[in-house]
Structure 1
Amino acid sequence: MKSQDGKSKAVKHFYEFGPFRLALEERLLSSHEGETIPLAPKIFETLVLLIENKGRIVKKEEIMKRLWPDRYVEESNVSQNIFMLRKILGESPRNEQYIENVPRLGYRFIGTVNEVQEVIEETEEEALASVEEPAPKVQKEKPARPEAKISIAVVPMVNETGDPAWEYLADGVTDSLIKLLSHFPQVRVIARSLVYRYKDKEADALKIGRELASDMVLVSRVVAREGKLIIRAELVEVSTGWRAWGEQYQPQLSDIRKLEDEVSTNIAATLHLKLTEEEKKRLSKHETENAEAYQAFLMGRYCRSKRTGEGYQKAIEYFEEAIKLDPGYALAYSALADSYVSYDFFGVLPPWETSTKAKAAAINALVIDDTLAEAHTALACVKMMYERDWSNAERGFKRAIELDPEFAHAHNWYSHFLMAMGRIDESFAESQIALKLDPLDGSINQYLGWHYIHARQFDRAIAQLEKTLAANPDFFLARVTLGMAYEQKGEVEKAIEEFKKAYKLEKSAVVLGFLGHAYAHAGNIGEAQTILEELEELSKRIYVPAFCIGLIYTSLGQNTQAFKWFEKAYVDQNEWMNWWKVVPELDLLRPDSRYTDMLIRLNLQPNNNLEDK
């Protein structure tokens, strides 16, 4: 029908619900503010079908027949369309405003819908154009609507080979997938420490997803059949229990990286994630193309995760092997540096040896890839732990956090640094960020207890460390730290028991130093003196952290001898000296001018706030 001015009149049909308007002819979804929300064809058809049958249960079979009349598809295709629709409409499984899931049957549109018809005048050219190539109207530029993130829990791969030797592979693939999926800006990946609670436990995907408040759960397992490895993976939608994607692989060890890439790519396709070229480039980037080097790296990472003296020793060997196989492996260099630094807290290797090796590894990592947050963190740790180059250490931690704000251990180490500076409130803030990013990570939880001790909040320290040890009773450093907390609270007998338990885990001179200090504190001078003599004799043959011997002399009230050993610890680059400013075991030495002199030599300023804590 044409008007007198030559324009034709067309009737447009719309459905309006909530803040949305669905244009049927143009196949567009828009908000009432005029923002166009693109829909894939099958998702558009799914929405129309549900709205046309509002209030009625639309069975899954009906949806499949309507959308895919000429070919066979699985129910997971319907599940995926519904999942994406809910994401677009801002829903979650616990907040169904428009689409109701009816278990084992189908879906029902429960939102209020208004059907609208509008008569629109358009020229003949416009009418033809709208028929030939429907296109959205040009809208004024508006701020992008924040896109709802899909949450995914990557459950630890189950090792069903019957051989514990493959645990490193199961954990390695799990960790790599967590990292790869974290690169998707539309995805929120549940923290590693949270999903690892389910390792070696019987729990189905739906239960895990509900407990973690996750939209999707990725489950996988590795089995051995006729001498070959088979890896099965599937993505499960928690709200429906339907399988959104699944695949079986029979990889060679040299193909593990390709498998990880393929799984992450398939998940991105299943969830219809749109990636920029930069994001695609980052996802396809491999730290190494050498399969053997990658295997060695996975083994090293697996050993390091044990957080034991033996674990760190083996991790160092594996990371060195990875570097030998691929001298351009930046991530292996940074992991090697981190392992040296962390192992130093066990007091086994002399710092003048580890500091050189750790620094060389960290620098090599940065020369190869200066965008690697792990490498900046490693070098910052070297600056803090051994060189006491405080300004450059802080600069390094900040750069690491700038490069990867979600790298929990950068925040955790930066918290260590801030505590050394006596910036207690800032240290706590960084520790909380680290904990939020990885809530059940053992090292991060242990450090929070350590923070509370140095902030003189001993009850909080004890509660935090007992919780940490409940999750892992054999965590050596947490056991030592709990002993420190009990002693500072005045429960010295409990402290002695904790130090003894720690010594059973690791025959470390560090523990003996704290145990001797506690014995002297309890008035058991004979036991303290025995440990002191043992450590002094031992120090003539092997490396013994001088700081630990100084601790015992401090508790015995022999300050001159204490400062003699603390001087040696300073020269040896002993890492425990870096917290000289805040260590509660040294509170009795603070009035001594030699204590202040050491502060100055460490480039630290007296902290008058500690007395207020």
Structure 2
Amino acid sequence: MELMGKGKTPGGQFTIGEFRIDTGNNSIYHKQQTLHVEPRAMHVLLVLVEHAGQTVEREVLFDRVWGQQVVVEEALTRTISQLRKALNDNQSRKLIQTIPKKGYRLASDIKWHDGTGSSVRDTGVAMNADVSSPAPRKKPRTFSLKHLVWILPAVFFVLWLAFELSWLHQPATEYAESVIVKPDVGVLPLTNQSGNPQYDYLANGIADEVLTALTKTSDLDLTSRYSSFSYGNTELSAQKVAQELAVRYLLVGNLQQLNEQGYVIQVELVDARRKTAAWNRTYTGPQDQLSDVSRQISQDVHHYLLPDKAAAENAKWAPERIEVQAYQHYLQGRYWWMNGSTSEWFYRAEKAFLDAINVEPDFAAAHGSLAYIYARYHFHDIYMDKNEAIRKAGYAIEQALALDPDQVDALHARAILATLEQRFDDATKALERALEVRSPNAQAWYLLSELAVAQSQPDKALEYALRARQADPLSPWVNINLAIVYYYSGQSEQALQAISVAQSVDQDYSWSYVWQARILHKVGRLADAILAMQQCLSLDPGSAANSAYLGLLYLELDLQAEAASWFERTASLYGDSVDARFWKNFIRLGYQNKEPQISLSMLQSMQSIRTGTYDLVPLLRQNYLALEKQHQGARELAKVQPSPLKPDVTVNIHNSELSLALLALSDNSRIKNTLSHQLAYLEQQWPDWALHSGVRANHLFIQGKTEEMLTLLLQAYKKGWVPLWWLFIHSDKSDNARALKRLPEFSRLSRLIESEQQQQRQQLNTGNTKITE
């Protein structure tokens, strides 16, 4: 059999078990049935056949089948599902095996009938290098708001260039008339007209760089990245887009050529008031000067719109020549970071930024971007060990700021780490500096809202979240951040509205469905929450944390079989690890509270006990109490950084469960009084969250106030839900627990929960639940 090249599908027939495959007509024959599959599905199957028995990485499949095309990430997942269905492997998945975080493996011998006499395993050896070393591939792109973020800056870049060129041919008097005191400008994504879809990321990235450069001056009113990029695929005229963005000038353009002869980029600045192109220009040069283009365009646009201030601004446009390969890696990383909607974004962005730094070690922006994603090591799933992530983030921050003291991404990363470590003054200083360097800066505003949440300041958190939305109203994450603040503040309807905005902008952003589910969970709409997470996992099937959370949601309705299925998937995504073994046995070890010693041993070693989606510290606390190992538990949990036991660390939303565990396990009266006092203050600041998160109920239970706790829980379940309710049912054998179960309110609570569960199960079974849009 001839080995396949990129984009080439060979002919021939072969057999996989009882299935005969004819590649010539893309058909699969089984018994008396014939099924036709898409040509690309057949091509994917052939690549797997070439390497039967070996793991084929996802990047190799994209590179071999789609080649230079830029497609959505889920295209491969859908193709694999089509093949599994055709080969009757949809349920068992034993034939086409998923290798977590790597790719797929065809577990079968192949028999060819095309006369070649060679087996796929024979040809697979020759292709072995390609299996693990594909050419770099850009993330598939859909026109979501995140993608518009890249496209709009590119368009802005093009429009800007056009504006400048027009100026060169205008009389001085007309030039003076075209300039306003503080011009308002929108930047649209560049259009990739190079004929190579591989350069979509580059066209968008250059425009984004132009927009970023222009934000360094306060002399222009710039529309936000997401707001501008939302018009990247519109059929509206430039004048109409400018009108909707409420700007006079709109920068648009295109990438016409990028090859060994060099690059050709055209831009145009549209004056919407005059309905004409005020300025246009064509930029050309050798490939090794590509990194200069965004600065040239930024400087030229600024000079055209504000000629009197050009001399004073020259320092901001100082050239910084970056090796072209490093620049391309950097823009690839930015593309993944800004457009990644699934759990794989971290790894792809990290690799691209590291590649850029390997080529250009003094690339400040690449170090800053790398610092930011390391600081977000637990943003969706847990991407790496906490200590390793913080160490790498700290090093990248120092490298970036040593090269450029105003590197904004590094300042943002410094603020994130400082907030996590409760160095609130340091976080504030970093964000204040970031706001001085870049305007508008929605990212800094929502990080300030995260800081205010960590400081238990609800009013400030909401103020900053709203300011972030004002700065970038169409950013999915800005709207999700606003939803989170509303969620903590007890404003569930407003939170769902903010989620709706995020999803209307980008319906494929999986993180929006996680928070939609959490909000619905809180208000007791568990069937809706489950449907939201099903949607999330259809978009991002590789997320271990989200799979675990869906399993936990099913347990809220006591649907143990469904929960076990999702815990099995969670285990498969963690590979051979303690986390995998625990999740595989979660029903027995966690939910049913059997074998607490085994459960405790595993929980102590797990990486996934706390994520951005759920927290299993209450289960850990219960096991320590059940085994009467309070002293050991207090000692171990005190090691968690930052520990609530340290004098400069306060109890907040993020460490509340850890604080409750230390309160329950500690025998030091001073520590218990301090923690109890701080928890009471936290509950006062966020009363609705304290009620529905179970923090207030657990606090009362630990204090021995079982009747008050039951009264509170009855109130909570009449208005919504409290997660991990089964911890109260299967609680430890302490005096408090025995007293709890003897009280009549306990029976009332159990009946109330059972009634709500039954109602929600009926909703789920009939399929009448409507997810809030």
Q: TM (normalized to structure 2)?
A: 0.55
- Report the Cα distance in structure 1 between the residues aligned to 2:167 and 2:402, rounded to whole angstroms: 50
Other-structure match for 2:123: none
- Structure ID, larger Rg: 1
Deviations 1:118-173 (A, max 9, x none): xxxxxxxxxxxxxxxxxxxxxxxxxxxxxx31111111101122322101111111
Task: Choose which of 671, 686, 690 in structure 2 pairs with 1:610.
Answer: 686
Confirm or deny that 1:517 pairs with 2:552. Answer: yes
Deviates more, 1:166-175 or 1:361-370: 361-370
Contact 2:256 2:265 in 1 (8 A): yes
Contact 1:351 1:573 in 2 (8 A): no
Task: Choose which of 561, 572, 582 in structure 1 pairs with 2:653.
Answer: 582
Task: Choose which of 469, 475, 478 in structure 1 pairs with 2:503.
Answer: 469
Other-structure match for 1:494: 528
Contact 2:326 2:357 in 1 (8 A): yes
Contact 2:638 2:662 in 1 (8 A): no
Deviates more, 1:171-180 or 1:195-204: 195-204
Deviations 1:201-257 (A, max 9, x none): 333211211111111111101224997543211111101221211122333332223
- Report the Cα distance in structure 1 between the residues aligned to 2:436 and 2:367, rounded to whole angstroms: 20
Deviates more, 1:557-566 or 1:258-267: 557-566
Task: Choose which of 79, 82, 85 in structure 1 pairs with 2:177.
Answer: 85
SS in 1 for 2:511: helix
- Cα distance 1:571–1:477, how it changes in 2: closer, same or farther (>3 A)? farther
Aligned length: 478
Deviation at 1:289, TM superposition (A): 3.4
- Report the Cα distance in structure 1 between the residues aligned to 2:218 and 2:241, rounded to whole angstroms: 23
Confirm or deny that 1:374 pairs with 2:374. Answer: no
Task: Choose which of 293, 299, 319 in structure 2 pairs with 1:265.
Answer: 299
Other-structure match for 1:200: 233
Contact 2:419 2:454 in 1 (8 A): no
SS in 1 for 2:490: coil
Deviation at 1:585, TM superposition (A): 10
- Report the Cα distance in structure 1 between the residues aligned to 2:370 and 2:535, rounded to whole angstroms: 29
Deviation at 1:285, TM superposition (A): 4.9
Residues 23-42 of structure 1: pairs in structure 2 closer than 5 A = none
Task: Choose which of 159, 168, 178 in structure 1 pairs with 2:211.
Answer: 178
Deviates more, 1:158-167 or 1:588-597: 588-597
Q: Return 5+ residue gaps in structure 2 as ranges.
A: 1-164, 581-605, 644-648, 690-773
Deviation at 1:465, TM superposition (A): 0.6
- Report the Cα distance in structure 2 between the residues aligned to 1:382 and 1:509, rounded to whole angstroms: 24
Task: Choose which of 383, 394, 398 in structure 1 pairs with 2:428.
Answer: 394
- Cα distance 1:247–1:402, how it changes in 2: closer, same or farther (>3 A)? closer
- Report the Cα distance in structure 2 between the residues aligned to 1:303 and 1:442, rounded to whole angstroms: 15
SS in 2 for 1:168: helix
- Report the Cα distance in structure 2 between the residues aligned to 1:565 and 1:220, rounded to whole angstroms: 61
- Report the Cα distance in structure 1 between the residues aligned to 2:493 and 2:330, rounded to whole angstroms: 40
Contact 2:226 2:474 in 1 (8 A): yes
- Report the Cα distance in structure 2 between the residues aligned to 1:468 and 1:227, rounded to whole angstroms: 41
- Cα distance 1:430–1:605, how it changes in 2: closer, same or farther (>3 A)? farther
Task: Choose which of 357, 371, 385 in structure 2 pairs with 1:323.
Answer: 357
Other-structure match for 1:162: 195
Partner letter of residue 611 of structure 1?
A: P
- Report the Cα distance in structure 1 between the residues aligned to 2:609 and 2:306, rounded to whole angstroms: 59
Other-structure match for 1:295: 328
SS in 2 for 1:235: strand
- Report the Cα distance in structure 1 between the residues aligned to 2:178 and 2:189, rounded to whole angstroms: 27
Deviations 1:62-111 (A, max 9, x none): xxxxxxxxxxx9899679855743766xxxxxxxxxxxxxxxxxxxxxxx
- Cα distance 1:254–1:200, how it changes in 2: closer, same or farther (>3 A)? farther
RMSD between superposed Cα atoms in Å? 4.1
Deviation at 1:490, TM superposition (A): 1.1
Task: Choose which of 438, 443, 451 in structure 2 pairs with 1:417.
Answer: 451
SS in 2 for 1:473: coil
Other-structure match for 2:480: 446
Other-structure match for 1:363: 398
Confirm or deny that 1:310 pairs with 2:402. Answer: no
Structure 1 stretches of 4+ moved >6 Å: 73-80, 561-570, 583-592, 595-599
User: What is the percent sequence identity of the aligned residues?
Assistant: 22
Partner letter of residue 493 of structure 1?
A: A
Confirm or deny that 1:434 pairs with 2:472. Answer: no
Task: Choose which of 487, 502, 516 in structure 2 pairs with 1:482.
Answer: 516
Deviation at 1:511, TM superposition (A): 1.2
- Report the Cα distance in structure 2 between the residues aligned to 1:302 and 1:429, rounded to whole angstroms: 30
- Cα distance 1:581–1:269, how it changes in 2: closer, same or farther (>3 A)? closer
Deviates more, 1:498-507 or 1:454-463: 498-507
Contact 1:459 1:489 in 2 (8 A): no
Deviation at 1:591, TM superposition (A): 12
Residues 48-67 of structure 1: pairs in structure 2 closer than 5 A = none
Residues 449-460 of structure 1: pairs in structure 2 closer than 5 A = 449-460=483-494
Other-structure match for 1:223: 256
- Report the Cα distance in structure 1 between the residues aligned to 2:534 and 2:308, rounded to whole angstroms: 55
- Cα distance 1:471–1:520, how it changes in 2: closer, same or farther (>3 A)? same
Partner letter of residue 407 of structure 2?
A: L
Partner letter of residue 475 of structure 1?
A: Y
Other-structure match for 1:348: 383
Deviation at 1:464, TM superposition (A): 0.8
Contact 2:659 2:675 in 1 (8 A): no
Other-structure match for 1:545: 608
Partner letter of residue 353 of structure 1?
A: E
Residues 118-129 of structure 1: pairs in structure 2 closer than 5 A = none
SS in 1 for 2:308: coil
SS in 2 for 1:152: strand
- Cα distance 1:503–1:235, how it changes in 2: closer, same or farther (>3 A)? same
Partner letter of residue 233 of structure 2?
A: D
Partner letter of residue 364 of structure 1?
A: Q
- Cα distance 1:551–1:474, how it changes in 2: closer, same or farther (>3 A)? same
Partner letter of residue 609 of structure 1?
A: Q
- Report the Cα distance in structure 2 between the residues aligned to 1:366 and 1:226, rounded to whole angstroms: 34
Contact 2:192 2:256 in 1 (8 A): yes
Residues 588-603 of structure 1: pairs in structure 2 closer than 5 A = 593=664
Deviates more, 1:255-264 or 1:542-551: 542-551
Deviation at 1:567, TM superposition (A): 9.5
Contact 1:532 1:552 in 2 (8 A): no
Contact 1:222 1:231 in 2 (8 A): yes
Deviation at 1:486, TM superposition (A): 0.7
Contact 1:553 1:561 in 2 (8 A): no
Contact 1:553 1:559 in 2 (8 A): no
- Cα distance 1:313–1:79, how it changes in 2: closer, same or farther (>3 A)? farther
Contact 1:351 1:572 in 2 (8 A): no
Contact 2:167 2:280 in 1 (8 A): no
Deviation at 1:275, TM superposition (A): 2.0
Partner letter of residue 609 of structure 2?
A: A
- Cα distance 1:311–1:605, how it changes in 2: closer, same or farther (>3 A)? same
Partner letter of residue 190 of structure 1?
A: T
- Cα distance 1:260–1:508, how it changes in 2: closer, same or farther (>3 A)? closer
Deviation at 1:432, TM superposition (A): 1.8
Contact 1:352 1:572 in 2 (8 A): no
Confirm or deny that 1:281 pairs with 2:357. Answer: no
Residues 564-579 of structure 1: pairs in structure 2 closer than 5 A = none
- Cα distance 1:584–1:322, how it changes in 2: closer, same or farther (>3 A)? closer
Q: TM (normalized to structure 1)?
A: 0.68
Partner letter of residue 236 of structure 2?
A: A
- Cα distance 1:572–1:516, how it changes in 2: closer, same or farther (>3 A)? farther
SS in 1 for 2:339: coil
Partner letter of residue 344 of structure 2?
A: E
Contact 2:475 2:502 in 1 (8 A): no
- Report the Cα distance in structure 2 between the residues aligned to 1:612 and 1:338, rounded to whole angstroms: 32
